[in-house]
Structure 1
Amino acid sequence: MRIPLAAIGLLLAASACSSEPEQTSVRNDAEQIAATLEAKADNLEALADSTANADAAAMLEGAADNVETQADNVRDAAETR
């Protein structure tokens, strides 16, 4: 998952600015990134639900959980700046 980690880095760099409009922009960008990640997690969960192989379903559920955690991390990174 290189994109979410890169997104967090960009958010941290961009959020170092001190003006309120820039902070609002960073938060909005973070929310869009997090929403995209959550949609991907939902897709992984739906795929897991429709997969007959229990091992594959468990792997997909784990991946979905990881993506949801990354969405939370993006939001947290934006809020701490």
Structure 2
Amino acid sequence: MLRCSDQSLYTGYTNDLEKRLSKHLAGKASKYTRARLPVEMVYYEIFETKSEAMSREAKIKQFSKNEKEDLVVSFKTSKIV
């Protein structure tokens, strides 16, 4: 999940986080993020299959903004340890 400069959150899936983030930062990955640069990666999950990743992406996209923000907070907290 990326936080855009307007504080909105963008959710997507990829098989290469670093490459995808670089494309977003260069304005070449998504029309949505291109108009909201810069972006910052604030949350991610790792899955074994593309199908699992796409299923989770679809579920997260249905979350409210508050639910997405809760994921981000819990992710930051878990990375501090």
Which TM-score band (shorter chain)? Answer: under 0.3
TM-score for both structures, normalised by structure 1 = 0.27
| Structure (1/2) with the larger helix percentage | 1
Larger radius of gyration: 1
TM-score (norm 2): 0.27
Question: Bigger relative contact order, structure 1 or 2, given CA contacts below 8 A and separation 6+?
Answer: 1
